[in-house]
């Protein structure tokens, strides 16, 4: 019988100051190739949630590649959306920083992504954590 | 008995996180549990052989090698290690090097996951 396990990747750190949020995204995206280690049809369902200062990872128009020669967190978030990962952003924390949906990466349409970022109340993120088999707090 | 997966992201020098993780692994193995340890980001520093022991800094090569002999399974993130100049030939004997999906698979199979984020 196929087993699905949900893993919640919680990001509350600033982008670029440390490697943490990048590692959260690259580990979450690695869920797309985890099957090579699992039994047939077993799978990992990832959900990525940005809370606190972590919501600043989601700002649009990042220029890390231009300025520092490294891929931006924006690129990683778009890759996550392209791969249909569930990406959640805490609504209250966005508001705390004076940000709106227009300020952040809401989709990856230009690279063919179909799912959108979900801006949700913190309670919904707590529910996602409650329903996860494992919470990975970055 | 259960399986514990410990994800480590902090550096060897500059934090005591890896010291704690190794002690926890030892306690779990003594109780008969299986332990996987994942070294990612700055924690890949622990996978490098030839660490010189100073009393001012954590030095875990010897104790980790001992734990490998007792069944601890330690795997380092290959990309994180390479980015830091730790190549395959620098790896402590008995450690593995894999991509990040290995960690997720280990979490998948674990009864408990202790994920210790980086600094």
Q: All domains of chain A, ordered by start, with CATH?
A: 4-137 (3.40.1260.10)
Q: Are A38 and B119 inside 8 Å of each other by CB?
A: no
> What is the tens place of the pLDDT at every residue in A20-32?
999 999 999 999 9
Q: Are A18 and B119 inside 8 Å of each other by CB?
A: yes
What pLDDT was estimated at residue A56?
Answer: 98
Q: Are A18 and B9 inside 8 Å of each other by CB?
A: no
Q: What is the 3-state secondary structure (H, E, C) of B56-79?
A: CCCCCHHHHHHHHHCCCEEEEEHH
B107: nearest CA partner in chain A: A134
What pLDDT was estimated at residue A135?
Answer: 97
Nearest to B41 among A7, A19, A38 (CB): A19
Residue among B76, B75, B64 at smallest CA distance from B26: B64
Tell whether A71 is within 8 A of chain B (Cβ). no
Confidence category of residue A127, pLDDT binned at 50, 70, 90: very high
Tell whether A38 is within 8 A of chain B (Cβ). yes
Residues A110-137, mean pLDDT to the nearest whole number: 97
Q: Return the residue matching tokens 């100049």.
A: B85
What pLDDT was estimated at residue B14?
Answer: 86
CA distance A132 to B114: 14
Buried b / exposed e over B23-44, threshold 16 CB at 10 Å, is ebbbebbeeebbbbbbbbbbbb
Q: Are B117 and A137 inside 8 Å of each other by CB?
A: yes
Residues B12-39, mean pLDDT to the nearest whole number: 95
Q: Are B108 and A135 inside 8 Å of each other by CB?
A: no
Complex ipTM > 0.85: yes
| Strand spans (E) along chain A | 4-11, 43-50, 86-90, 118-120, 134-137
> What is the tens place of the pLDDT at every residue in B68-97?
999 999 999 999 999 999 999 999 999 999
What pLDDT was estimated at residue B118?
Answer: 78
Tell whether A25 is within 8 A of chain B (Cβ). no
CA distance A77 to A56: 12
Q: Provide CB contacts within 8 A for A1, sequence distance 6+.
A: none
A3: nearest CA partner in chain B: B108
Q: Residue B119: pLDDT above 80?
A: no
Collapsing DSSP to helix, strand or coil, B28 comes out as helix
What pLDDT was estimated at residue A43?
Answer: 96
Q: Give how far Cα B25 sits from Cα of B21, B40, B114, Å.
A: 6, 17, 11
Residues B86-110, mean pLDDT to the nearest whole number: 97
Which string of DSSP letters, residue by residue, matches A72-89? -HHHHHHHHHHTT-EEEE
What whole-number percentage of chain A has pLDDT above 90? 99
Tell whether A111 is within 8 A of chain B (Cβ). no
**Chain B 30-89, residues with CB within 8 Å of chain A CB atoms:** 40-42, 80
Residue among B7, B2, B6, B5 at smallest CA distance from B32: B2
Confidence category of residue A59, pLDDT binned at 50, 70, 90: very high
> What is the tens place of the pLDDT at every residue in B60-69?
999 999 999 9
């Amino acid at each position: 019988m196929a087993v699905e396990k949900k893993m919640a990747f919680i990001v509350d750190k600033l982008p670029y100051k440390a490697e943490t949020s990048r590692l959260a995204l690259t580990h979450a995206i690695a869920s797309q190739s985890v099957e090579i280690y699992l039994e047939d049809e077993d799978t990992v369902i990832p959900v990525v949630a940005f809370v606190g200062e972590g919501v600043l990872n989601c700002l649009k128009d990042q220029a890390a590649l231009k300025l520092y020669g490294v891929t931006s967190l924006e690129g990683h978030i778009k890759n996550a959306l392209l791969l249909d990962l569930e990406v959640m952003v805490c609504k209250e924390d966005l508001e705390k920083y004076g940000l709106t949906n227009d300020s952040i990466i809401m989709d990856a349409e230009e690279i063919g992504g179909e799912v959108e970022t979900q801006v949700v109340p913190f309670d919904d993120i707590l529910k996602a954590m409650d329903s996860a088999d494992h919470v990975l707090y970055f | 008995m259960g399986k514990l997966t410990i994800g480590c992201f902090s550096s060897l020098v500059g934090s005591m996180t890896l010291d704690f993780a190794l002690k926890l692994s030892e306690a779990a193995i003594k109780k008969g549990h299986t332990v996987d340890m994942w070294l990612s980001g700055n924690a890949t520093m622990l996978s490098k052989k030839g660490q010189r022991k100073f009393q001012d800094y954590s030095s875990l090569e010897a104790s980790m090698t001992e734990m490998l002999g007792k069944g601890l399974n330690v795997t380092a993130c290959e990309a994180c290690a390479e980015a830091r100049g730790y190549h395959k030939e620098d790896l402590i004997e008995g450690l593995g090097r894999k991509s990040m999906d290995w960690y997720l698979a280990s979490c998948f199979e674990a009864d408990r996951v202790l994920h210790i984020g980086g600094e």
